[in-house]
Structure 1
């Protein structure tokens, strides 16, 4: 792969001037805030690592501030995904100036699939070094958490941008969310998001951007977080099982973990099956969820799967479902209650 001629952007209006020229206002309903400080922007892009001759997908580029900094670091190509049509003129201006190194995709990153975005010769084996492919984004606050959970699922299934290997991400979040992502055991910030993301990625909170650097100024500061997918997750089970167990356990964050474990099972059997689950996992049922480590969550998820293997209908049980939906689990209750102790003991 030869290195192409470096991109030398011609003189362009500043991002502040672009915003004024095209009369673009940040929309509160989309949680938009524009980052104007070029020193901070360059620092975000530098955090992504070496992107020269690589492919970069920027999500939510807005008027193109971060995009300019990316282009100056000589990637082979930059793909930006933006859903707000108001930014098209400023992005098209930048694409024209990039000498063919930039593509614009008008769409919603929450539904956009990236499995065909990058060339096949950039693929790397999963257990090898990460590919020279990077996801970068100053994310709107209202999509950051659901998007990162969606991407954790893609990492677990090795699809979308992770078809190409362990693609790295450099993203912004509200400072509080950034702290949750990296929160250690027993931290006040540790939650479902902490466990889910730390299971599939090595996560680093690189630095914090003060809210004063944005226009308009948000009510919170912003954290820049770097993700590198792990070769092997701690909990190597289907995403749906891990997500369900972790979500249910953290639904009673300040109570003992047994309370959340019980919600994994229909009412008539939940006490006995919760007991079986934490006994198989060898986890103290009187541990608070945020004090459980990833190894303990692994054992709990594996125990839940073992129990569900006995009757896969349990996988579909949702304690928050409507009364009508829960009625279909009445027969399941009776079937499982009729199991004798010998059958239950096989799992232990």
Structure 2
């Protein structure tokens, strides 16, 4: 990809997205959790939320019939890469590429397994401590992949890998409204969960606005939130991703109960001393509820968990749900330990 040059962002007259869907007989596939945005004004509003795209490099995930794609091109993107799993949409995307004077590159693939290292050119790279590069990731995500995808991307952000090898690349994405609310939920909020702490730890995350489900085709039973992520220069929890993710997953597994219940499952049932050791080192009360804990508490807990794993390395891969360990945990419950 070459350095951006002056061009006319305005696309030639094109059929309405609704007409494109009709012409190509495109129907959303339920098994792929597809929901189209056919209102072009709404597409433009989502793209405006991402900020200025003039002369920028953009990656759109799941473009579908191309509503957001068209809005990105008209917003002045110098180059747009799209990742689409469903090849039924390729003819419409190829038409947009031709109309934009070949400013697009179309990738056929599943974004959950797509290596995004080369999606942006190296010449736009910026140091992590600097302002974000002129690059954006945008997408109307299928509900079925949205949570595992953002978890994967948070891991890459934490390691400065993939698209984030170029710097603090920003994201503007859609999620179910409930998921969007969880991502921004503060301490003591009913929606506070593992996803809240993880998103807020590695990114400045903002729920920009909500779209009624009726704006999509077919209409989902839920409303949709537009969320923007800007990677933090320094995360709030300094421990490596694998320790943070695992500890949060266990602590919030028993969300309404004492945090001790979740921490116990990090270790074999015959090692209650490790739970006490972690809580003591982290200076966290065993009776605390997960949603009441502040990021500083989790920072100390993750550091304590890592120290314990450093002392006994096999503990990081310990899985209480494995067949063998599950039997031990059931026996422990029967004994009311």
Partner of 1:261: 263
Does residue 89 (structure 1) correspond to residue 121 (structure 2)? The answer is: no
Partner of 1:344: none
Deviations 1:154-210 (A, max 9, x none): 000100110000000000000000000001101111111111111100000000001
1:114 deviates by 1.2
Unaligned runs of 5+ in 1: 328-348
Of the candidates 173, 176, 181, which is equivalent to residue 175 of structure 2?
173
Deviations 1:62-120 (A, max 9, x none): 00000000000111100010000111111111111110111111111111111112111
Partner of 1:297: 298
Partner of 1:206: 208
Of the candidates 52, 65, 68, which is equivalent to residue 66 of structure 1?
68
Partner of 1:335: none
TM-score (norm 2): 0.94
Task: Report the Cα distance in structure 1 between the residues aligned to 2:53 and 2:37, rounded to whole angstroms.
Answer: 21
Deviations 1:231-259 (A, max 9, x none): 00011121111011000111100100011
Contact 2:319 2:325 in 1 (8 A): no
Of the candidates 49, 52, 66, which is equivalent to residue 51 of structure 2?
49
Report SS of the residue matched to 2:192: coil
Unaligned runs of 5+ in 2: 329-337
Backbone CA RMSD of aligned residues: 1.3
Q: Residues 232-271 of structure 1: matches in 2 within 5 Å?
A: 232-269=234-271, 271=272
Task: Report the Cα distance in structure 2 between the residues aligned to 1:100 and 1:324, rounded to whole angstroms.
Answer: 56
Partner of 1:121: 123
TM-score (norm 1): 0.92
Q: Residues 157-172 of structure 1: matches in 2 within 5 Å?
A: 157-172=159-174
Task: Report the Cα distance in structure 2 between the residues aligned to 1:185 and 1:238, rounded to whole angstroms.
Answer: 22
Contact 1:83 1:107 in 2 (8 A): yes
Task: Report the Cα distance in structure 1 between the residues aligned to 2:182 and 2:45, rounded to whole angstroms.
Answer: 22
Task: Report the Cα distance in structure 2 between the residues aligned to 1:325 and 1:313, rounded to whole angstroms.
Answer: 17
Contact 1:115 1:160 in 2 (8 A): yes
Task: Report the Cα distance in structure 2 between the residues aligned to 1:178 and 1:219, rounded to whole angstroms.
Answer: 15
Task: Report the Cα distance in structure 1 between the residues aligned to 2:314 and 2:109, rounded to whole angstroms.
Answer: 37
Partner of 1:105: 107
Deviations 1:25-64 (A, max 9, x none): 1111111111111221111101111111110000000000
Deviations 1:118-164 (A, max 9, x none): 11110000000000010000001000000000000000010011000
Report SS of the residue matched to 2:208: strand
Partner of 1:219: 221
For this pair of structures, how many residues does the alignment match?
326
Partner of 1:143: 145
| Residues 207/286 of structure 1: CA separation in 2 closer, same or farther (3 Å cut) | same
| Residues 184/324 of structure 1: CA separation in 2 closer, same or farther (3 Å cut) | closer
Partner of 1:286: 287
Contact 1:34 1:216 in 2 (8 A): yes
Report SS of the residue matched to 2:270: helix
1:324 deviates by 7.3
Contact 1:7 1:99 in 2 (8 A): no
Report SS of the residue matched to 1:265: coil
Partner of 1:9: 11
Does residue 320 (structure 1) correspond to residue 312 (structure 2)? The answer is: no
Task: Report the Cα distance in structure 2 between the residues aligned to 1:156 and 1:296, rounded to whole angstroms.
Answer: 19
